[in-house]
Structure 1
Amino acid sequence: MAVQLWETLKEAIVVYTGLTPSTFFTVLALLLAVYYVITGLFGASPDHHRPRHIEEEEMPPLRPPVQLGEITAEELKAYDGSDTEKPLLMAIKGQIYDVSQSRMFYGPGGPYALFAGKDASRALAKMSFEDKDLTGDISGLGPFELDALQDWEYKFMSKYVKVGTVKSEVPVTESESPAQPSESTSRDIDVADAKPSEDGKSETTAVKSDKTPSKIDADKEE
């Protein structure tokens, strides 16, 4: 029975391929050998993915965002990613966001690392990497730049958690000293203090300036 099947197979090989049985099986063996070689070189092997899996396992899990409240721009610099124990923060229009999940972009060595730990509103609006634009001052920006900044803000609001605000540093002006009474003020006081007497004549109060206009002007020139 087996001999009969082998004879039938040989006849079928000759009829359908035009090759002798020995030539057919030789070609088939060569094709299988080439297939295994190509699979070994370019195929997906579990060993090829092992380093990536190990690397992912070694990466520490992201910590939950911590609300910082209101901090100064100087305090924000401590969250630029240089300290791995602290979250990676960035601010837009005075609003601070935790961008730790995008450390590859905003962390050290990333394309946007200059923006980390700062309010980089102006730089984002202008897509500038110059130090002078790494600020939250957006005065003087054009409509297209403001639209670009708005797009960045919408992106951050939808993707990252807001954890605080940047304290506004408004310069405090010293209070001016009380103004010294001028010549006209002294005269006004003298006139205001004048009171009508019973006989219809006016009399002035005892408090008057002991300087005449000519004497005051002289003092000023001195």
Structure 2
Amino acid sequence: MAEKGIAEAVQAYTGLSPAAAVTILALMLATYLLVSSLFVAPDAASPALAAPLNPPQQRQEQQEEPGAFMPYPDPVQVGEITLEQLAAYDGKDPAKPILIAIRGQVYDVSRGRLFYGPQGPYSLFAGRDATRALALMSFDPIDLTGDLEGLGPDELEVLQDWEDKFKERYPTVGHLASENATDGNHSGA
């Protein structure tokens, strides 16, 4: 009798048959689990996914502390770095962090490897000065520069929004070395 009462309550509350309500609930749970797994560190989601992302010495260090959850290695301060040095942190070497410069500040975006890593939608920005490209919301390699010349208030506001998001989400690990010449023609080929 209690089962019949529950079935009637489900139908009265949702307007659906109990089978349809359970099916929708199961689909919602599956969707939640799928989406939330996108925001979990790879080594927490599956040991198989962690293997290509962590160098062997890091995996050994993690095994030394059983049960310790280490989603990302501590950011390494790079201090003053040139554009040429920054290019080495493009995500292609899994032993190195992924770095992006905005307005001269260098951010470690390694925790966003799915976005900035080699197959990510924003991999173009990795290891580069993305200041102008972010201001213009551009994926054109010619815009991968720190040159702000010719940008209007709207573009500078967009850039400020991006910079605020980076400051919120990613640690600052250094700054770009000052250059005597304007970097406006740097295409980063």
TM superposition score category, shorter chain reference: 0.5 to 0.7
Q: Structure 1 residue aligned with 2:170, among 150, 156, 160?
A: 160
| From 87, 110, 122, the counterpart of 1:112 | 122
| In 2: Cα distance, 1:66 partner to 1:56 partner | 24
Match of 1:56 in 2: 45
- SS of 1:165's partner is strand
1:117-144 Cα deviation digits (max 9, x unpaired)? 0111000000111111011111110110
**Equivalent residue for 1:192?**
none
Aligned equivalent of 1:100, options 81, 91, 110: 110
Structure 2, unpaired ranges of 5+: 1-18, 55-70, 182-189
Per the TM alignment, residue 57 of structure 1 is displaced from its structure 2 partner at its CA by 2.9
Aligned partner letter, 2:91: G
**TM-score, structure 1 normalization:** 0.53
The count of residues paired between Structure 1 and Structure 2 equals 129
Separation in structure 2 between the aligned mates of residue 55 and residue 128 of structure 1, nearest angstrom: 33
Moved more, 86-95 or 60-69: 60-69
- Distance in 2 of aligned mates of 1:80 and 1:95: 16
Q: Which of structures 1 and 2 has the larger relative contact order (alpha carbons within 8 angstroms, sep 6+)?
A: 2
**TM alignment of 1:80-159, pairs within 5 A:** 80-159=90-169
Structure 2 equivalent of residue 170 of structure 1: 180
- The structure-2 alpha-carbon separation of the partners of 1:54 and 1:168, relative to structure 1 and needing over 3 Å to count, comes to closer
The answer to whether residue 64 in structure 2 is matched with residue 75 in structure 1 is no
Normalized against structure 2, the TM-score is what? 0.61
The 3-state SS of whatever aligns with 1:97 is strand
RMSD: 2.6
Task: Classify the secondary structure of the residue corresponding to 2:159.
Answer: helix
Structure 1 outlier segments of 4+, above 6 Å: 42-45, 52-55
SS class of match (1:124): helix
Structure 1 residues 85, 150: closer, same or farther in 2, change over 3 A? same
With over 3 angstroms needed to count, the CA separation of the structure-2 counterparts of 1:149 and 1:86, relative to structure 1, is same
Distance 2:134 2:179 in 1: 21
Which AA in structure 2 matches 1:57?
A: S
